[in-house]
Amino acid sequence: MNFAASDLPVTPGTPATPAELDEDPKHTLKILVAGGFGVGKTTLVGSVSEIRPLRTEETLTDKSAGVDDLAGLERKSTTTVAMDFGRLTFGGGVRLYLFGTPGQERFWFMWDQIAYGAVGAIVLADTRRLTASFASIDFFERREIPFIVAVNRADGSRHYTIAQIRDALDVDPHVPVMLCDVRDRGSAKNVLVALVEHAIRFAPAPGP
Amino acid sequence: MDAPRERWTGQDAGPVVRPYALTGGRTRPRGAPFDLVAILVATGKAPGERVRLTREQRRLLELCRRPSTPADLASEADLPLRVVQILLDDLRRLGLIERREPEHDRARPDSRILMRVLDELRRL
């Protein structure tokens, strides 16, 4: 057997150089990207940030029993869930992390974990399947997490105005609704800017 | 001889150990799990004489010599996030790692830090 990895000495690190210290994380912030399969979460995260592999192994409880793709499995089993995970590293040790998770209710235990202390959430929607966004919107409204709705301009979705989409989604008037193209870095960046601007209105004042 | 019908050893067992085998079957940490972006760092203490760390625990401890987060650690160690949170909880209990920021810093970010992020995003 190979124990090479176990033989690594575990010793206190050597002092970091000033340049290294600057790269160490000092302020870490999270943003959720919510939306159904195929709506463009992965593309959005990849357009604007350094994308990193991340998976989690979760225990599915009987809540998910009856779901098609789990039919025939035991009532309680584990499943590997791939998460979209992106990171933006700014000066002064500021890091912004993006987490995209599947939109179905059976993954909401993950959302709760990510949502705690988050800047806010981007609900990525697709006009062909607007109803798929209702559950996400409801989730963030109930938990009073700042969120915006970004409608990915996929094929055939250009005929709708923001007002029409807002009407269809029935979101509060203060919730920003915008169009975007997740493939475009500038557009993806504007979505993040819009969310942070929105979140600032609800943010606590700085401490002493 | 009634040998087991399937006997997986060596390479036959495949490249992947079932993730929760790495945690001794535990599926959640004993304490509250670390936040995904909590900043963790090794305390620099040596594990006690009688402490036997697993290969994965040693790997995570090694990575924690520089401040890092559970999400980054899971990505770098190529281990599932939930498994990493359990192993990090073990390391915390052994006094080998600690959070770098106080607990209350995990509340929603304040307007000052958000303004800073906004400036950075606009400059992208």
Which residues does residue A148 pair with via DSSP β-bridges, in sequence order? A122
Question: Which segment of A64-73, A102-111, A136-145, A148-157 scores lowest on mean pLDDT?
Answer: A64-73
Which of B39, B112, B116 is opposite residue A28, by nearest beta carbon? B39
| Contacts with A57 from chain B: Cβ below 8 Å | 19-20, 80-83
CATH architecture of B14-123: Orthogonal Bundle (1.10)
Torsion angle of C-alpha atoms A165, A31, A117, A19, degrees rounded to 10: -160
> Is the predicted pLDDT of residue A11 greater than 70, yes or no?
no
Alpha carbons B22 and A116: distance in angstroms, whole number: 27
What is the rounded distance in angstroms from the CA atom of residue B87 to the CA atom of residue A184? 38
Q: Work out the pLDDT band at A33, boundaries 50, 70, 90.
A: very high
pLDDT in tens, B5-48: 555 555 444 445 667 778 877 777 777 889 999 999 999 999 88
- pLDDT-derived band at B117 (thresholds 50, 70, 90) equals very high
pLDDT at B6 (0 to 100)? 52
Side-chain-facing half-sphere of A120: CA atoms under 13 Å: 28
In chain B, where the domains are located: 14-123
**Separation CA A146–CA A172 (nearest Å):** 12
Q: Look at residue A66 and tell me whether its pLDDT is greater than 50.
A: no
Per-window interface: A 125-184 vs B, CB < 8 A: none
When pLDDT is averaged across residues A31-45 and rounded to a whole number, the result is 89
Question: Does the pLDDT value for residue A21 go beyond 60?
Answer: no
Q: How many angstroms separate the CA of residue B4 from the nearest CA in chain A?
A: 23
Burial, A62: exposed, middle or buried (Cβ in 10 Å; 0-12, 13-18, 19+)? exposed
Closest CA to A150 of A120, A191, A103, A98: A191
**Partners of residue B8 on adjacent β-strands:** none
Q: Give me the mean pLDDT over the A153-174 stretch.
A: 82
**pTM to 2 decimal places:** 0.82
What does the pLDDT read at residue B28?
Answer: 78
**What is the full DSSP assignment across A1-52?**
---GGGGS---PPPPPPHHHHHHS-SEEEEEEEEE-TTSSHHHHHHHHSEEE
Contacts of B112 in chain A (CB under 8 A): 206
